Structure 1
Amino acid sequence: MSIPPPPGPHQPPGSPEQPQGPYAQGPYAYPYHPYGPYGRPVPVNGVAIGSLVLGILCFVPAVGLVLGLIALAQIKKRGERGKGMAIAGSVLSSVGLALWVLALSTGSASDFWDGFKGAARGDGTAYALAKGDCFDTPTGDLEGDAYDIDEVSCAGEHDGEVFAVVTLPGGAFPGDDEIELTADDKCYALQDGYAMDTWAVPDDVDVYYLVPSRQSWRLGDREITCLLGSTAEDGRLTGSLRADPTTLDADQTAFLSATNAIDAALYEEPEEYPEDDLSANQDWAKGMHAELGEQIAALRGHSWRAEAKKPVADLIEDMEDARKEWSRAAVARDADTFYTHYESGYDYVDGPTTVTARKALGLDTTVPEPYEDDSEGGGSGIAGVLDA
């Protein structure tokens, strides 16, 4: 992903910010052109321009030097302008030629070319980051602007870990706010697909993302890079948080897929309390009943290893009891009755049978702290943004 260069103080010619033409600097600022005999402008020698360009670029310094010498001869013969450009091109080309000779004799040309190719690939920038990569930032901070990163091993300490890369559609730049909203929706939705064992994710870890800036969008940057990072002051990650089918066995994947689907349904609880909108909560309870039925069927249909069969069966029994409570909550006649079945439906969640099943499957058994919403508007909100 592109990390844009810091914006410079000047705008390119012709941009809306810098008006061009006779009145660009004021009502009396007319452009100045040197004129030759009979009022006709003296032309600039084209070879001199070519010499200067090649001298600045230093790609083919020998050609720039030859062009400079040819231009000086033509200018003297024709009376054209461009002598200064021809001289500058010749001098720069001579310096470039000397540097090329030195580089070839010491072998540093190969090192330079390798570095150039690395820059083109985006090495050392967010362009180089892919799912599963870990990295450090120069400041150790995942908020604000950043122009480079250092990819490091996930085994040691690191500032961030990439868990997804989302490609945006082309077209005009949608604006910073729109991109951040998209990143918020996409990244939080993809988090559990990468770190499926949510119990193993430290409490201080949250979602961050790298997003295109207006400048990098002009260069073709269309990627949102979703990250996991610590929200603690000077906090860092240690070891990879990846827990998906590439690192889990079939039993672990099946179990976490079912329990995470139920958790996702639980998170859809309406913002309105039952006493304010009983109908919305009844609809949600009906959805919980359906989701539990689907995931119970998935767990029963899986062939479990010997040591996990009974623990998973015990958990399924609790889930069946909870499913009945959600069915009753879905038809509750008042808020008090709804709350009674609501609480019973929640009883099994993160309970003893869940812990026992997790232990049998080799998953984390540390029960997570209850979720508390400290934001003003509800929801977990954005933990931070790192512009790319």
Structure 2
Amino acid sequence: MSIPPPSGNQQPGDPYGPPPAHWPQGGQGYGPYGPTGSPYGPTGRPYGAPVSVNALAVAALALGVLCFLPAAGLVLGLIALRQIRRNGQSGRGLAIAGAALSSVGIALWAVALSTGVLSEAWEGFRDGAQGNESLSLRKGDCFDAPGGLEGDTYDVDRVSCAGGHDGEVFAVVTLPGGAFPGDAEITDIADERCYALQDQYAMDSWAMPADVDVYYLMPSRDSWRYGDRAISCVFGHSDAKAKLTGSLRGDPTTLDTDQVVFLSAANAVDAALYEEPEDTAEDDLAGHRAWATQVHDVMGEQIEALRGHSWPSGARKPVADLVKDMEDAREQWAKASTAGDPDTYYTHYDKAYAYVDGAATVTARKALGLATAPPAPGETEGGDSEAEV
């Protein structure tokens, strides 16, 4: 059988005892935390507990303000709004602001990508970070250096080679990675490589002005940290206050085939002659005889190269006469290579050198349209200077 409930408005006993007399009676009951009938508010949080700020809302606002990864900022803002509705956290305004700013950021990125502004901005940022991007010169570039070619150079302005300019790049040598090798080692590399490469760019040494020097633009310790590995080999005026005018380039891009063949042979012989021992024959006869053998062999190779080329009619006889002089000189180098004493050696040495820059050479050059005024005796083809970038 069932037991009917007791009559009247009965409530279970309050474990905390009766409410104070000043609390209102009837209607909504009072519990120990206030007039709710429950110690928890409508979201299940105890009354009086601190309200936390949604972390995703804060992150969304940060990404929106910085315009960094705007798509992520928008997604985080939407997720934050959903969590705030569910958990009762604060930060709704932050989430809305972050989502709005991120939306604007997305629109700006879209405009930047479509117009190329972003690419230009990145180039500018990279130039500023590397500090010497404007010095990324290429072979054949002419430029002005506000600070000159001596000492530290931080910036250059590319200009036309037709007008006045401070320098003309004739080669670029790329160094391997790793730790900074030091200024002395980089200078040694520049000395060795730049002088070896100048004849490939300006093949006709007779056409090189006497007041042209060789300069180097080399990485500094600071620029090395930003990836600078280039040595720029540069022609510049020997007078720091003067400028070059016109390009010094004379290679297969500006010369015809006949001129290239002739200059290649002449430069190969010159390179062998430049290897003459520093000591005299009296001090190093064996070294001089070995060098004479080397010159003899190189001249034989270049004689064959000149003979094997098909020359235009106006240059055939002049080149043939030059080859005859080279053969005579080669015989003298052969005798010098077997000389038994310094006096005999120098006798053949002087006869062998008589052909160098002689009349036959001038006539052949004239027939081929090359410079006909040989460098003055003792005249060098440029000094060497360096600048750090």
The alignment's TM-score, normalised by the length of structure 2, stands at 0.71
The separation in 1 between residues aligned to 2:306 and 2:378, in whole angstroms, is: 26
Residues 138 and 169, structure 2, Cα contact 8 Å, conserved in 1: yes
The separation in 1 between residues aligned to 2:353 and 2:57, in whole angstroms, is: 82
1:303-359 C-alpha deviation (Å, 9 max, x unpaired): 000000011111111111111111111111211221111111111111111111111
> Given the superposition, is the C-alpha separation of residues 47 and 273 from structure 1 closer, same or farther in structure 2, using an over 3 Å criterion?
farther
Structure 1 residue 380 displacement after superposition:
7.4
Structure 1 residue 117 displacement after superposition:
5.2
Residues 121 and 127, structure 1, Cα contact 8 Å, conserved in 2: no
2:378 to 371, 378, 383: 371
The separation in 1 between residues aligned to 2:273 and 2:324, in whole angstroms, is: 19
The separation in 1 between residues aligned to 2:140 and 2:382, in whole angstroms, is: 24
Equivalent residue, structure 1, for 2:196: 189
Letter in 2 for 1:269: E
Quote the RMSD (CA, aligned, Å): 4.0
Equivalent residue, structure 1, for 2:346: 339
After the TM superposition, which of the residue ranges 207-216 and 266-275 deviates more from structure 2?
Answer: 207-216
What are the within-5 Å matches in structure 2 for residues 217-296 of structure 1?
217-296=224-303
Equivalent residue, structure 2, for 1:41: none
Q: Does the alignment pair 1:297 with 2:299?
A: no
The separation in 2 between residues aligned to 1:50 and 1:311, in whole angstroms, is: 83
The separation in 2 between residues aligned to 1:55 and 1:211, in whole angstroms, is: 42
Equivalent residue, structure 2, for 1:37: none
Q: Does the alignment pair 1:216 with 2:249?
A: no
> Given the superposition, is the C-alpha separation of residues 51 and 338 from structure 1 closer, same or farther in structure 2, using an over 3 Å criterion?
farther
Which of structures 1 and 2 has the bigger CA Rg? 2
The separation in 2 between residues aligned to 1:366 and 1:346, in whole angstroms, is: 18
1:171-203 C-alpha deviation (Å, 9 max, x unpaired): 222222211211221111111011001111111
The separation in 2 between residues aligned to 1:304 and 1:122, in whole angstroms, is: 50
Letter in 1 for 2:142: C
Residues 193 and 244, structure 1, Cα contact 8 Å, conserved in 2: yes
The separation in 2 between residues aligned to 1:279 and 1:206, in whole angstroms, is: 34
The gaps in structure 1 that reach 5 residues or longer are 1-44, 80-86, 374-378
Residues 142 and 386, structure 1, Cα contact 8 Å, conserved in 2: no
The separation in 2 between residues aligned to 1:125 and 1:361, in whole angstroms, is: 42
Residues 55 and 61, structure 1, Cα contact 8 Å, conserved in 2: no
Q: Does the alignment pair 1:166 with 2:168?
A: no
Give identity over the alignment, percent.
56
Letter in 2 for 1:384: E
What are the within-5 Å matches in structure 2 for residues 34-73 of structure 1?
55=65
The separation in 2 between residues aligned to 1:50 and 1:276, in whole angstroms, is: 83
1:143-164 C-alpha deviation (Å, 9 max, x unpaired): 2222222111111111111111
The separation in 2 between residues aligned to 1:138 and 1:67, in whole angstroms, is: 50
Structure 1 residue 50 displacement after superposition:
7.5
Q: Does the alignment pair 1:383 with 2:385?
A: yes
Letter in 2 for 1:382: D
> Given the superposition, is the C-alpha separation of residues 358 and 51 from structure 1 closer, same or farther in structure 2, using an over 3 Å criterion?
farther
Structure 1 residue 370 displacement after superposition:
2.2
What are the within-5 Å matches in structure 2 for residues 307-346 of structure 1?
307-346=314-353
Structure 1 residue 206 displacement after superposition:
2.0
The secondary structure found in structure 1 opposite 2:385 is coil
The separation in 2 between residues aligned to 1:201 and 1:110, in whole angstroms, is: 47
Q: Does the alignment pair 1:119 with 2:127?
A: no
> Given the superposition, is the C-alpha separation of residues 223 and 49 from structure 1 closer, same or farther in structure 2, using an over 3 Å criterion?
farther
The gaps in structure 2 that reach 5 residues or longer are 1-54
> Given the superposition, is the C-alpha separation of residues 65 and 348 from structure 1 closer, same or farther in structure 2, using an over 3 Å criterion?
same
The separation in 1 between residues aligned to 2:58 and 2:376, in whole angstroms, is: 73
> Given the superposition, is the C-alpha separation of residues 318 and 63 from structure 1 closer, same or farther in structure 2, using an over 3 Å criterion?
same
The separation in 1 between residues aligned to 2:60 and 2:224, in whole angstroms, is: 32
Structure 1 residue 59 displacement after superposition:
5.5
Letter in 2 for 1:137: A
Letter in 1 for 2:192: D
The alignment's TM-score, normalised by the length of structure 1, stands at 0.71
